Chains A and B, each alone.
Chain A
Amino acid sequence: GAVVSQHPSWVICKSGTSVKIECRSLDFQATTMFWYRQFPKQSLMLMATSNEGSKATYEQGVEKDKFLINHASLTLSTLTVTSAHPEDSSFYICSGFAPRNNQPQHFGDGTRLSIL
């Protein structure tokens, strides 16, 4: 149980385009979803916390206008990287969390974003 699906797994696009990444909880209702960024050989860096039906809470230093997060349902959250530039290239990972289940976060398989 507690499966989180993330799509796409890999995307390459030109500088200036916007990219949307989807995160779905397949067998549980994720009232909270987290978005992380991971650089090579480094740990996960929390970008933002999103609760279903509410605005996301961004960590210090993360531009909310650059990284748009929507959590419109209990099973889907999206991260849109707007006007992406090469420095936005990274590995983005989401996780789902349901406090009622008393279980920790379960992670998606990540999205490798490459901006040319």
Chain B
Amino acid sequence: QKEVEQDPGPLSVPEGAIVSLNCTYSNSAFQYFMWYRQYSRKGPELLMYTYSSGNKEDGRFTAQVDKSSKYISLFIRDSQPSDSATYLCAMSPNTDKLIFGTGTRLQVFP
């Protein structure tokens, strides 16, 4: 079993839809949780960064962490075609060495 599980997709949604991306994990020592967005042939770009359980909102993006269920989510409201990318969850006990999910490919069509 992988430490971090993420559905690879692809996930295809119409413009304006609410997108829900999820990861599950098995290591209870993880304390730091990140979501990165990666466009084709580019490096990952940090979207959201949370510590321990709870919610964090930034514009159209909301990150949720449920440590009791070992489950994290990223919600994208009012999705745009420019949101089409691969979304990687990543986590760590202490922010340095990250464990990545496989990434979910998202396509938002006009």
Contacts and interface: CB of A to CB of B under 8 A. Distances in A.
A and B found bound together: yes
Interface of A: 2, 4, 6, 32, 34, 41-44, 46, 49, 91, 93, 95, 97, 99, 102-110, 112
Nearest to A44: B100
B102 A42 contact: yes
Contact of A93 (B44, B49, B96): B44
Interface residues of B, number: 23
B57 interface: no
A110 B101 contact: no
Interface string B1-45: 000000010000000000000000000000010101000011111
Contacts of A41: 8, 105
Contact of A99 (B8, B36, B95): B95
B96 A110 contact: no
Contact of A104 (B41, B46, B105): B46
Interface in B25-73: 32, 34, 36, 41-46, 49
B101 to A, nearest CB: 7
